[in-house]
Structure 1
Amino acid sequence: MKKPAAITCAFLDIGGVLLTDGWNHHARRRAVKNFKLDGSETEARHRLCFAAYEIGKLTLEEYLSTVIFYVKRSFTRAQFRHFMFAQSKPYPAMIDLAAQLKHRHGLKIAVVSNEARELNAYRIQKFGLDRCVDFFVSSCIVGLRKPDADIFRLALDLAQTPAGQVVYIENTPMFVEIAAGLGIRSILHSDYRATCAQLAALGLPIDQGVIRASR
Protein backbone atom coordinates (compact mmCIF):
# COMPACT_ATOMS: atom_id res chain seq x y z
CA MET A 1 0.00 0.00 0.00
CA LYS A 2 1.28 3.45 -0.91
CA LYS A 3 2.31 5.49 2.11
CA PRO A 4 0.26 8.71 2.55
CA ALA A 5 2.09 11.92 1.72
CA ALA A 6 3.58 13.81 4.65
CA ILE A 7 1.46 16.72 5.85
CA THR A 8 3.07 20.07 5.13
CA CYS A 9 0.16 22.47 5.63
CA ALA A 10 -2.75 22.92 8.03
CA PHE A 11 -6.04 24.68 7.37
CA LEU A 12 -7.95 25.78 10.48
CA ASP A 13 -11.31 27.36 11.11
CA ILE A 14 -11.52 30.26 13.57
CA GLY A 15 -15.00 30.17 15.14
CA GLY A 16 -15.42 27.05 17.24
CA VAL A 17 -11.76 26.03 16.81
CA LEU A 18 -9.34 28.85 17.68
CA LEU A 19 -11.94 31.20 19.17
CA THR A 20 -15.59 31.16 20.08
CA ASP A 21 -17.96 31.96 17.23
CA GLY A 22 -17.98 35.66 16.48
CA TRP A 23 -21.68 36.36 16.03
CA ASN A 24 -23.72 33.16 16.23
CA HIS A 25 -27.28 32.59 17.41
CA HIS A 26 -26.19 32.38 21.06
CA ALA A 27 -24.50 35.80 20.85
CA ARG A 28 -27.53 37.26 19.09
CA ARG A 29 -29.83 35.92 21.80
CA ARG A 30 -27.66 37.61 24.39
CA ALA A 31 -27.87 40.85 22.39
CA VAL A 32 -31.67 40.56 22.21
CA LYS A 33 -31.84 40.19 25.99
CA ASN A 34 -29.23 42.86 26.76
CA PHE A 35 -30.68 45.50 24.43
CA LYS A 36 -34.36 44.44 24.80
CA LEU A 37 -34.84 43.76 21.08
CA ASP A 38 -37.60 41.92 19.25
CA GLY A 39 -35.95 38.52 18.91
CA SER A 40 -38.00 37.24 15.97
CA GLU A 41 -37.62 40.42 13.94
CA THR A 42 -33.90 40.68 14.69
CA GLU A 43 -33.25 37.08 13.66
CA ALA A 44 -35.33 37.39 10.49
CA ARG A 45 -33.44 40.50 9.41
CA HIS A 46 -30.12 38.87 10.28
CA ARG A 47 -30.86 35.80 8.15
CA LEU A 48 -31.74 37.92 5.13
CA CYS A 49 -28.48 39.84 5.03
CA PHE A 50 -25.77 38.01 6.96
CA ALA A 51 -24.51 35.98 3.99
CA ALA A 52 -23.92 39.24 2.11
CA TYR A 53 -22.13 40.66 5.14
CA GLU A 54 -19.90 37.58 5.46
CA ILE A 55 -18.74 37.78 1.85
CA GLY A 56 -17.95 41.49 2.12
CA LYS A 57 -20.96 42.86 0.29
CA LEU A 58 -22.11 44.82 3.35
CA THR A 59 -20.07 46.81 5.85
CA LEU A 60 -20.70 46.44 9.56
CA GLU A 61 -22.48 49.80 9.56
CA GLU A 62 -24.76 48.66 6.73
CA TYR A 63 -25.47 45.40 8.53
CA LEU A 64 -26.33 47.26 11.74
CA SER A 65 -28.55 49.72 9.86
CA THR A 66 -30.53 46.83 8.40
CA VAL A 67 -30.72 44.52 11.40
CA ILE A 68 -30.68 46.80 14.47
CA PHE A 69 -30.89 50.50 13.69
CA TYR A 70 -33.80 50.49 11.23
CA VAL A 71 -35.71 52.24 14.04
CA LYS A 72 -34.57 54.69 16.72
CA ARG A 73 -32.88 52.92 19.64
CA SER A 74 -32.14 53.84 23.25
CA PHE A 75 -28.51 52.72 22.79
CA THR A 76 -25.80 53.80 20.40
CA ARG A 77 -24.08 52.02 17.53
CA ALA A 78 -20.83 52.17 19.48
CA GLN A 79 -22.43 50.37 22.42
CA PHE A 80 -23.80 47.66 20.16
CA ARG A 81 -20.50 47.23 18.28
CA HIS A 82 -18.67 46.90 21.60
CA PHE A 83 -21.11 44.18 22.65
CA MET A 84 -20.67 42.32 19.36
CA PHE A 85 -16.89 42.31 19.60
CA ALA A 86 -16.95 41.34 23.29
CA GLN A 87 -18.61 38.01 22.42
CA SER A 88 -15.30 36.71 21.02
CA LYS A 89 -13.21 34.66 23.46
CA PRO A 90 -10.06 32.62 22.79
CA TYR A 91 -9.38 28.91 23.17
CA PRO A 92 -5.76 29.32 24.32
CA ALA A 93 -4.85 25.65 23.96
CA MET A 94 -6.05 25.58 20.37
CA ILE A 95 -4.11 28.73 19.52
CA ASP A 96 -1.05 27.07 21.07
CA LEU A 97 -1.79 23.94 19.00
CA ALA A 98 -1.69 26.03 15.81
CA ALA A 99 1.60 27.57 16.94
CA GLN A 100 3.06 24.11 17.58
CA LEU A 101 2.00 22.92 14.13
CA LYS A 102 3.87 25.88 12.67
CA HIS A 103 6.97 26.12 14.84
CA ARG A 104 7.47 22.54 16.04
CA HIS A 105 6.34 20.68 12.92
CA GLY A 106 7.18 23.31 10.30
CA LEU A 107 3.72 23.36 8.74
CA LYS A 108 2.38 26.21 6.66
CA ILE A 109 -0.71 27.48 8.52
CA ALA A 110 -3.79 28.96 6.86
CA VAL A 111 -7.16 29.94 8.25
CA VAL A 112 -10.21 29.15 6.11
CA SER A 113 -13.20 30.85 7.71
CA ASN A 114 -16.57 32.46 7.23
CA GLU A 115 -16.08 35.83 8.92
CA ALA A 116 -17.38 39.34 8.37
CA ARG A 117 -14.67 41.90 7.72
CA GLU A 118 -14.73 44.04 10.84
CA LEU A 119 -15.12 41.11 13.22
CA ASN A 120 -12.44 39.18 11.34
CA ALA A 121 -9.94 42.05 11.61
CA TYR A 122 -10.74 42.58 15.30
CA ARG A 123 -10.39 38.89 16.15
CA ILE A 124 -7.10 38.46 14.31
CA GLN A 125 -5.57 41.49 16.03
CA LYS A 126 -7.11 41.01 19.49
CA PHE A 127 -5.99 37.40 19.85
CA GLY A 128 -2.74 37.62 17.89
CA LEU A 129 -3.73 35.02 15.35
CA ASP A 130 -1.33 36.45 12.79
CA ARG A 131 1.57 35.30 15.00
CA CYS A 132 0.94 31.67 14.07
CA VAL A 133 -1.04 31.94 10.81
CA ASP A 134 0.70 32.50 7.48
CA PHE A 135 -2.38 33.67 5.58
CA PHE A 136 -6.14 34.05 5.99
CA VAL A 137 -8.72 32.87 3.48
CA SER A 138 -11.61 34.81 4.99
CA SER A 139 -15.00 34.86 3.28
CA CYS A 140 -15.22 38.65 3.60
CA ILE A 141 -12.02 39.06 1.59
CA VAL A 142 -12.28 36.31 -1.03
CA GLY A 143 -16.03 36.63 -1.69
CA LEU A 144 -16.60 32.91 -1.09
CA ARG A 145 -17.98 31.19 1.97
CA LYS A 146 -18.23 27.63 3.18
CA PRO A 147 -19.90 25.31 2.16
CA ASP A 148 -18.76 26.47 -1.30
CA ALA A 149 -15.93 24.06 -2.18
CA ASP A 150 -14.25 26.82 -4.17
CA ILE A 151 -13.02 28.46 -0.96
CA PHE A 152 -11.00 25.30 -0.26
CA ARG A 153 -9.72 25.17 -3.84
CA LEU A 154 -8.61 28.79 -3.50
CA ALA A 155 -6.87 28.01 -0.19
CA LEU A 156 -5.02 25.12 -1.86
CA ASP A 157 -3.94 27.41 -4.70
CA LEU A 158 -2.71 30.06 -2.28
CA ALA A 159 -0.89 27.48 -0.19
CA GLN A 160 0.62 25.90 -3.30
CA THR A 161 0.14 22.58 -1.55
CA PRO A 162 -1.49 19.38 -2.86
CA ALA A 163 -4.72 18.44 -1.06
CA GLY A 164 -3.16 15.21 0.18
CA GLN A 165 -0.54 17.15 2.13
CA VAL A 166 -3.08 19.28 4.02
CA VAL A 167 -4.85 18.61 7.32
CA TYR A 168 -8.00 20.64 8.00
CA ILE A 169 -9.37 21.23 11.53
CA GLU A 170 -13.04 22.28 11.57
CA ASN A 171 -15.98 21.92 13.97
CA THR A 172 -18.80 21.82 11.39
CA PRO A 173 -19.43 18.31 10.00
CA MET A 174 -20.63 19.48 6.56
CA PHE A 175 -17.50 21.55 5.98
CA VAL A 176 -15.30 18.62 7.01
CA GLU A 177 -17.12 16.41 4.49
CA ILE A 178 -16.63 18.95 1.68
CA ALA A 179 -12.91 19.35 2.38
CA ALA A 180 -12.47 15.58 2.64
CA GLY A 181 -14.20 15.24 -0.73
CA LEU A 182 -11.39 17.32 -2.22
CA GLY A 183 -8.78 14.94 -0.81
CA ILE A 184 -7.93 17.05 2.26
CA ARG A 185 -7.35 15.01 5.41
CA SER A 186 -9.90 16.51 7.75
CA ILE A 187 -10.45 16.45 11.50
CA LEU A 188 -13.90 17.13 12.95
CA HIS A 189 -12.94 19.17 16.01
CA SER A 190 -14.98 18.47 19.14
CA ASP A 191 -12.42 19.11 21.87
CA TYR A 192 -8.73 19.80 22.33
CA ARG A 193 -7.63 16.35 23.47
CA ALA A 194 -9.48 14.52 20.70
CA THR A 195 -7.96 16.78 18.06
CA CYS A 196 -4.48 16.29 19.56
CA ALA A 197 -4.99 12.53 19.38
CA GLN A 198 -6.01 12.68 15.72
CA LEU A 199 -3.03 14.89 14.89
CA ALA A 200 -0.70 12.47 16.66
CA ALA A 201 -2.12 9.65 14.54
CA LEU A 202 -1.10 11.69 11.50
CA GLY A 203 2.44 12.05 12.82
CA LEU A 204 1.94 15.50 14.36
CA PRO A 205 2.14 15.11 18.15
CA ILE A 206 1.23 18.14 20.27
CA ASP A 207 2.77 18.94 23.68
CA GLN A 208 -0.29 19.18 25.94
CA GLY A 209 1.64 19.89 29.11
CA VAL A 210 1.60 23.68 29.09
CA ILE A 211 -1.86 24.93 28.20
CA ARG A 212 -5.17 23.30 29.12
CA ALA A 213 -8.56 24.29 27.75
CA SER A 214 -12.03 22.82 27.34
CA ARG A 215 -11.91 23.17 23.55
Structure 2
Amino acid sequence: MQQNSKITTLFLDIGGVLLSNGWDRAARREAAATFSLDLPELEERHHLTFDTYEEGKLTLDEYLKRTVFYEPRPFSEDEFKSFMYSRTTPIPEMIELVCKIKEKYGVKIAIVNNEGRELNEYRIRQFGINKFVDFFISSCFVHFRKPDADIWKIALDIALVKPEEVLYVDDRAMFVSVAEGLGINGLQHVTYAATKENLAKYGFVVE
Protein backbone atom coordinates (compact mmCIF):
# COMPACT_ATOMS: atom_id res chain seq x y z
CA MET A 1 0.00 0.00 0.00
CA GLN A 2 1.42 3.37 -0.96
CA GLN A 3 1.50 6.11 1.66
CA ASN A 4 1.50 9.87 1.26
CA SER A 5 4.36 11.34 3.31
CA LYS A 6 2.37 14.20 4.81
CA ILE A 7 -1.41 13.95 4.47
CA THR A 8 -2.81 11.06 6.51
CA THR A 9 -6.45 12.14 6.62
CA LEU A 10 -9.04 13.64 4.30
CA PHE A 11 -11.81 15.77 5.77
CA LEU A 12 -14.69 15.97 3.28
CA ASP A 13 -17.94 17.84 2.99
CA ILE A 14 -20.87 15.83 1.61
CA GLY A 15 -23.20 18.30 -0.14
CA GLY A 16 -21.66 19.57 -3.35
CA VAL A 17 -18.70 17.17 -3.07
CA LEU A 18 -19.99 13.59 -2.76
CA LEU A 19 -23.72 14.19 -3.12
CA SER A 20 -25.91 17.00 -4.36
CA ASN A 21 -26.96 19.62 -1.88
CA GLY A 22 -30.07 18.04 -0.44
CA TRP A 23 -32.50 20.55 1.07
CA ASP A 24 -31.11 23.65 -0.63
CA ARG A 25 -32.74 26.73 -2.14
CA ALA A 26 -33.51 24.93 -5.42
CA ALA A 27 -35.15 22.02 -3.59
CA ARG A 28 -37.26 24.38 -1.50
CA ARG A 29 -38.33 26.21 -4.64
CA GLU A 30 -39.39 22.86 -6.14
CA ALA A 31 -41.23 21.97 -2.95
CA ALA A 32 -43.13 25.26 -2.98
CA ALA A 33 -44.22 24.63 -6.55
CA THR A 34 -45.07 20.96 -5.99
CA PHE A 35 -47.05 21.48 -2.77
CA SER A 36 -48.45 24.96 -3.56
CA LEU A 37 -46.61 26.67 -0.71
CA ASP A 38 -45.86 30.36 -0.35
CA LEU A 39 -42.13 30.39 -1.21
CA PRO A 40 -41.18 33.66 0.57
CA GLU A 41 -42.93 32.42 3.73
CA LEU A 42 -41.22 29.02 3.47
CA GLU A 43 -37.83 30.68 2.98
CA GLU A 44 -38.27 33.02 5.92
CA ARG A 45 -39.35 30.24 8.26
CA HIS A 46 -36.55 28.00 6.97
CA HIS A 47 -33.84 30.58 7.60
CA LEU A 48 -35.16 31.33 11.08
CA THR A 49 -35.01 27.71 12.20
CA PHE A 50 -32.76 25.56 9.96
CA ASP A 51 -29.53 26.33 11.81
CA THR A 52 -31.11 24.93 14.97
CA TYR A 53 -32.10 21.78 13.09
CA GLU A 54 -28.60 21.37 11.65
CA GLU A 55 -27.12 21.70 15.13
CA GLY A 56 -29.14 18.67 16.23
CA LYS A 57 -31.43 20.67 18.50
CA LEU A 58 -34.63 19.97 16.55
CA THR A 59 -36.00 16.83 14.96
CA LEU A 60 -37.07 16.90 11.33
CA ASP A 61 -40.70 16.70 12.46
CA GLU A 62 -40.19 19.78 14.66
CA TYR A 63 -38.48 21.64 11.83
CA LEU A 64 -41.38 20.84 9.50
CA LYS A 65 -43.98 21.92 12.06
CA ARG A 66 -42.30 25.32 12.18
CA THR A 67 -41.80 25.73 8.43
CA VAL A 68 -44.63 23.87 6.66
CA PHE A 69 -47.13 22.27 9.02
CA TYR A 70 -47.87 25.28 11.20
CA GLU A 71 -51.30 25.18 9.53
CA PRO A 72 -53.36 22.35 7.99
CA ARG A 73 -52.09 21.02 4.67
CA PRO A 74 -53.73 18.76 2.05
CA PHE A 75 -50.66 16.50 2.15
CA SER A 76 -48.99 14.51 4.91
CA GLU A 77 -45.67 15.01 6.65
CA ASP A 78 -44.51 11.67 5.25
CA GLU A 79 -45.27 12.83 1.70
CA PHE A 80 -43.30 15.99 2.25
CA LYS A 81 -40.36 14.17 3.85
CA SER A 82 -40.25 11.71 0.94
CA PHE A 83 -39.98 14.67 -1.39
CA MET A 84 -37.14 16.13 0.68
CA TYR A 85 -35.21 12.86 0.62
CA SER A 86 -35.74 12.48 -3.13
CA ARG A 87 -33.84 15.69 -3.88
CA THR A 88 -30.50 14.04 -3.12
CA THR A 89 -28.49 12.57 -5.99
CA PRO A 90 -24.96 11.13 -5.89
CA ILE A 91 -21.85 12.48 -7.58
CA PRO A 92 -20.53 9.04 -8.61
CA GLU A 93 -17.16 10.14 -9.99
CA MET A 94 -16.26 11.90 -6.73
CA ILE A 95 -17.33 8.95 -4.59
CA GLU A 96 -15.24 6.66 -6.81
CA LEU A 97 -12.23 9.00 -6.61
CA VAL A 98 -12.30 9.10 -2.81
CA CYS A 99 -12.71 5.32 -2.59
CA LYS A 100 -9.73 4.77 -4.89
CA ILE A 101 -7.57 7.13 -2.83
CA LYS A 102 -8.52 5.37 0.40
CA GLU A 103 -7.79 1.95 -1.09
CA LYS A 104 -4.46 2.96 -2.65
CA TYR A 105 -3.04 5.20 0.08
CA GLY A 106 -4.74 4.00 3.24
CA VAL A 107 -5.78 7.48 4.38
CA LYS A 108 -8.41 8.05 7.03
CA ILE A 109 -11.62 9.66 5.75
CA ALA A 110 -13.74 11.95 7.91
CA ILE A 111 -16.91 13.81 7.02
CA VAL A 112 -17.19 17.37 8.33
CA ASN A 113 -20.61 18.66 7.29
CA ASN A 114 -23.65 20.70 8.24
CA GLU A 115 -26.81 18.61 8.16
CA GLY A 116 -29.85 17.76 10.25
CA ARG A 117 -29.89 14.25 11.69
CA GLU A 118 -32.62 12.58 9.65
CA LEU A 119 -31.48 14.01 6.32
CA ASN A 120 -27.86 13.27 7.20
CA GLU A 121 -28.45 9.64 8.10
CA TYR A 122 -30.63 9.06 5.04
CA ARG A 123 -28.05 10.56 2.69
CA ILE A 124 -25.15 8.68 4.26
CA ARG A 125 -26.85 5.28 4.25
CA GLN A 126 -28.76 5.60 0.97
CA PHE A 127 -25.62 6.34 -1.03
CA GLY A 128 -23.17 4.16 0.88
CA ILE A 129 -21.04 6.98 2.29
CA ASN A 130 -20.72 4.98 5.54
CA LYS A 131 -18.97 2.17 3.64
CA PHE A 132 -15.74 4.12 3.15
CA VAL A 133 -15.82 6.89 5.79
CA ASP A 134 -14.14 6.35 9.16
CA PHE A 135 -15.60 9.27 11.15
CA PHE A 136 -18.68 11.50 10.87
CA ILE A 137 -18.26 14.92 12.43
CA SER A 138 -21.68 16.17 11.39
CA SER A 139 -23.22 19.30 12.89
CA CYS A 140 -26.22 17.34 14.15
CA PHE A 141 -23.92 14.99 16.10
CA VAL A 142 -21.46 17.49 17.61
CA HIS A 143 -23.82 20.52 17.95
CA PHE A 144 -21.47 22.90 16.16
CA ARG A 145 -21.90 23.91 12.55
CA LYS A 146 -19.59 25.39 9.98
CA PRO A 147 -18.20 28.07 9.91
CA ASP A 148 -17.72 27.65 13.69
CA ALA A 149 -14.05 26.62 13.94
CA ASP A 150 -14.90 24.25 16.80
CA ILE A 151 -16.33 21.68 14.38
CA TRP A 152 -12.91 21.28 12.71
CA LYS A 153 -11.19 21.22 16.12
CA ILE A 154 -13.48 18.38 17.18
CA ALA A 155 -12.72 16.58 13.91
CA LEU A 156 -8.98 16.88 14.56
CA ASP A 157 -9.44 15.46 18.07
CA ILE A 158 -11.62 12.57 16.94
CA ALA A 159 -9.28 11.64 14.07
CA LEU A 160 -6.28 12.20 16.39
CA VAL A 161 -4.33 14.11 13.76
CA LYS A 162 -2.44 17.38 13.52
CA PRO A 163 -3.83 20.10 11.21
CA GLU A 164 -0.91 19.77 8.80
CA GLU A 165 -1.73 16.08 8.33
CA VAL A 166 -5.21 16.89 7.01
CA LEU A 167 -6.53 17.92 3.61
CA TYR A 168 -10.03 19.40 3.77
CA VAL A 169 -12.22 19.37 0.65
CA ASP A 170 -15.35 21.55 0.48
CA ASP A 171 -17.19 23.33 -2.31
CA ARG A 172 -17.59 26.50 -0.23
CA ALA A 173 -14.59 28.81 -0.29
CA MET A 174 -15.35 30.38 3.10
CA PHE A 175 -15.37 27.03 4.87
CA VAL A 176 -12.07 26.09 3.23
CA SER A 177 -10.64 29.41 4.41
CA VAL A 178 -11.74 28.86 8.02
CA ALA A 179 -10.16 25.39 8.04
CA GLU A 180 -6.95 26.83 6.59
CA GLY A 181 -6.93 29.34 9.44
CA LEU A 182 -6.53 26.39 11.79
CA GLY A 183 -3.50 25.11 9.86
CA ILE A 184 -5.47 22.53 7.86
CA ASN A 185 -4.66 22.17 4.17
CA GLY A 186 -7.65 23.33 2.15
CA LEU A 187 -8.98 22.46 -1.29
CA GLN A 188 -12.09 24.02 -2.80
CA HIS A 189 -13.95 21.52 -4.95
CA VAL A 190 -15.27 23.10 -8.15
CA THR A 191 -15.09 20.33 -10.75
CA TYR A 192 -14.12 16.68 -10.69
CA ALA A 193 -11.22 17.23 -13.09
CA ALA A 194 -9.77 20.13 -11.10
CA THR A 195 -10.12 18.32 -7.77
CA LYS A 196 -8.49 15.18 -9.15
CA GLU A 197 -5.60 17.27 -10.45
CA ASN A 198 -5.22 19.12 -7.16
CA LEU A 199 -5.33 15.90 -5.15
CA ALA A 200 -2.49 14.60 -7.33
CA LYS A 201 -0.41 17.60 -6.22
CA TYR A 202 -0.72 16.27 -2.68
CA GLY A 203 0.51 12.88 -3.86
CA PHE A 204 -2.85 11.19 -4.33
CA VAL A 205 -2.60 9.96 -7.91
CA VAL A 206 -5.26 7.56 -9.18
CA GLU A 207 -6.35 6.45 -12.63
TM-score scaled by structure 2? 0.97
Structure 2 partner of 1:119:
119
Structure 1 partner of 2:46:
46
Runs of 4+ in 1 over 4 A off after TM superposition: none
TM-score scaled by structure 1? 0.93
Question: Aligned letter for 2:179?
Answer: A
Matched, 1:93 2:93: yes
> Which structure 2 segments of 5+ residues have no match?
none
SS at match of 1:104: helix
Structure 2 partner of 1:211:
none
Structure 2 partner of 1:31:
31
Structure 1 partner of 2:135:
135
Structure 2 partner of 1:59:
59
Listed as ranges, the matches of 1:64-79 within 5 Å are 64-79=64-79
SS at match of 2:200: helix
Listed as ranges, the matches of 1:147-166 within 5 Å are 147-166=147-166
Structure 1 partner of 2:6:
6
Counterpart Cα distance in 2 of 1:49 and 1:181: 28
Identical pairs, percent: 50
SS at match of 1:58: coil
Structure 1 partner of 2:186:
186
SS at match of 2:105: coil
* Cα shift readout 1:89-137 (whole Å, capped 9, x = no counterpart): 0001111112122111110000000010000000111000011100100
Structure 1 partner of 2:167:
167
| Number of positions where the alignment pairs a residue of Structure 1 with one of Structure 2 | 204
Matched, 1:205 2:187: no
Question: Aligned letter for 2:177?
Answer: E
Counterpart Cα distance in 2 of 1:49 and 1:177: 26
Structure 2 partner of 1:210:
none
Counterpart Cα distance in 1 of 2:98 and 2:163: 19
* Cα shift readout 1:155-211 (whole Å, capped 9, x = no counterpart): 00111111101111100010000011111111100011100000101111122xxxx
SS at match of 1:32: helix
Counterpart Cα distance in 2 of 1:58 and 1:96: 33
SS at match of 1:136: strand
Question: Aligned letter for 2:206?
Answer: I
- Residue 22 of structure 1 deviates from its aligned partner by 1.4
CA contact (8 A) 1:173 1:188 kept: yes
Structure 2 partner of 1:176:
176
Structure 1 partner of 2:102:
102
> Which structure 1 segments of 5+ residues have no match?
208-215
Counterpart Cα distance in 2 of 1:109 and 1:20: 19
